[in-house]
Structure 1
Amino acid sequence: MDIHPQREGESDMNKRRRRLPRLLLLALLICAFLCPVGCKPRQSDGGENLVRVYVAHNEKQYTAAVKEFQERTGIAVEIVSAGTGDCLQRIASEADNPQCDVMWGGTVESLEAYVAYFQPYVCAEDAFIADAFKDPNDLWIGESQQPAVIMYNRNLVANSDIPVVWEDLLDPKWKGQIASADPASSGSAYTLLCNIILAVSQQPDKSDGWAFVTALLDNVVISGGSSTVYQGVANGEFALGLTLEQLACPYVLDNPEGVGMLYPADGSSNVPDGVALVKGCPHEENAKRFIDFLLSADCQRFMSEEFDRRSVRSDIPQPESLPDLNSIYFIDYDYEWAGVGKEAVLLQWQAVLEQSGK
C-alpha cells in the first residue's frame, strides 16, 4: 500500500465525503440575500480569523490536514514547524505574551512536562477517545497512537541479523550503524530513550537501564533531528534506526523489499502524540475548532487511510497495512517518570552523553 497525500483522480476528503445538505444551502442563500452588500463574515479572537499552530509532524501529513481545515472553516492557519523540544521551549519562552494557539505533535510525555503552559479543554469528540489517550486534567489529548520501532535497511542487515530484543543492539557489529535523534530536542527520540530504559530496567532507580544506554551509545550515532533517522536508514546511511512506527511506516510500505521495521519482543511503547491548547492563546475559539477538527471522525479516518496513522478514536479501525496492536508486546510506560520527571531524565541523559564523548 503506497503512502501519498492524495491519489490521482481523487478529490479532497471534504469533496469525497461530504455533501452540503439542501437545508443548509437554502439557509446560506437566505443569509446572502439578507446580508447588506459589503458585509464581512464574523471574525472572532480580536478580529483575526486565524489560528497559529506550532507543529512537530511530518510535513505532508500536517499540510493535508491544514488544507482541509482551512477549506472547511475559512480560518487561516499559520504554521511554525520544528522539533518537539524546540516548539515547547518556544511556548515556554513566550508565556508572558503567548504567540501560539495550539501545540500539535510530540509524544504526550513531552507535553506532560510543559502542562504549566497549557489550559484545559474537553474537545467535542471526547466521548470517542479512551481515557488512556487523555490527560486527567484535560491539558492535552492524544491525537494518534505511536508504537516505538527499530527500523532497518534490508540491504545492510541480513535476515539472520535482524534484532529481536533491545539487547541485540549492543552487538559490536552495529558500531556506528544505529541512528538516533537527540532526546533533548526530539520527542520521538525521548520516547525511545525512556522506552529502552523502562524495558530493560530491573532496579527501582533504573540504574541498570542507564548502564544499558551507556553501553548502547558505543554503537549509536546521534544523527540530528528525527527525520535524519528514518531517512538515513531508508537511503542506506545507517543499518538501524530508533524511531516511531508512524515515521518509519511510509518508507516501509513504499519499499518493503528495501526497508523493514520491528517491535522489540521485550517491549515497545505506545505513547500517543498529542495536541494541546496553549494557556492565554490569542485565538482561543479558533484553536478549539482546530483541535476538534483534528480529532473528528472525518480527519482521523482520512489520516488513517491516507497516511496509515493509528487513530485514537474507538470508532475508527486501525490501518490494515499495520500489525494488530494485540500482537505487539507493550511495556507499562511510566508517564510520571518520563513526563513530570523529564527534566531529571534529560539531565541524566546529558551526563551519560558527555561521558561517552559524543
Structure 2
Amino acid sequence: MTSTIFERLRSGGFEQALFSHDTETGLRSLVVSHDTTLGPALGGVRMYPYEDETAALEDGLRLAQAMTLKAAAAGLDLGGGWSVIIGDPARDKTEALLRAHGRFIATLGGRFIPVNDVGTTQADLKVIGTEAAPVCADGDPSPMTALGVLEGIRACLRATGGDGDLRGVRVCVQGAGNVGAALARLLAAESAELLVSDTNARRADAVAQTVGARVIDPATAVVAECDVLAPCALGGVVDDRTLQELRCRIIAGGANNVLAAPGHAAALEARGILYAPDFCVNAGGLIFLEERLLGHDNARAEHRVRQVGERVATVIEHARRSGVSPTEAALSLARARLRPH
C-alpha cells in the first residue's frame, strides 16, 4: 500500500500528501500539495462521504493537480493543492471538527491556502480561519468562475464560426449549484436557450424558474442535444460511454476534471467537439481569489476574469496551429511556466 502511494505521488509530480486524524472530533482529513513552484498552494476544502481513504486521496490528488494547471495557465503566482475531509457534511460537520482541520492546515505554515468547496461554505472557512491563516473566506468566487466560463463560451462560439453572440444558443448547464446557477443567470441575460439539470430536483427547479430554463433529467443531461454542454458539477463527465453519445458541439463549464481520462481530449477532437480545457475556462474564481489575497477590489478582479475568454481563444489558436487538441495546447502553455527558472 505504502509503495503504491509513493509511486502515485512520484509519477504525478506531487510534493506532499499529509493525513490527519483527531480522536476527539472524529476528523479524518488530508491535504495534498501538488506544485508550489509559482507560489503557495491554493485549493478547496471538500467534505464528502467517500467510500474509503483511497477514494478520498485520489480525489484530492486529481483536484490538486488541476489547481496547479489552472493557476499556471491563468498566469497566477499560486500553486496547486487540495484538502479533503471524509464525512457527510449534513451529519458530521461540527465547529470542533472544522477547527481541528484548521489546526492541521496551520501546521503547513501558510504553504496551503484553503477555500470552500463541495460540502463546505464560506462560514466554515471562517471557522477554519480561527486556527489557520491565511484562508479565503471573504467573497464568493462562484460568480467570477461563472463569468469566466461565459467569456470562454463566447471564445468557443467564435472559434466555431460564430460572433460570440449567445442569443438563441442552446446551453445545457449540468449542475445548479453556486457556479451553475450563476452561469445560468448570466446566460439568461444574454438570451441563450437554457437547459438545466441537477441531482437535487428542488435546486434545479428553483434555478429554472428564476432564469426561464427547462429542467431536464440529470441522468441524461450530459448527452442532451445542445450547442454547448456546460458541466458545473462533479468531474468525469466525459467517459468511454458518454463520449459516444454526446450531442453537443462545444464543452465549456465550471467543473474540474471534466475528462475521465486524458485520452478523451483527442477523442473529442476526432468527433469534432470543441473542448475548452476545464483548468483554463473555469479559472475565474481562482483569479478572483488571488485578487482578494492581494487586497484588490472587485472591479480589477472582474477585468482580469473577463480575459479568460482571450486565454481560451489563444489556447484554441495554438492547438490548431500545432495540430494538437486544446487540452494538449493548454498543458504546454501551463508547463512552460512551471519549469524551473
Q: Shared topology, TM-score over 0.5?
A: no
- Short-chain TM bin: 0.3 to 0.5
- Computing the radius of gyration over CA atoms, which structure comes out larger, 1 or 2? 1
Q: Could you state the TM-score of these two structures normalised by the residue count of structure 2?
A: 0.35
The structure with higher relative contact order (CA 8 Å, sep 6+) is 1
Name the TM-score, length of structure 1 as normaliser.
Answer: 0.34
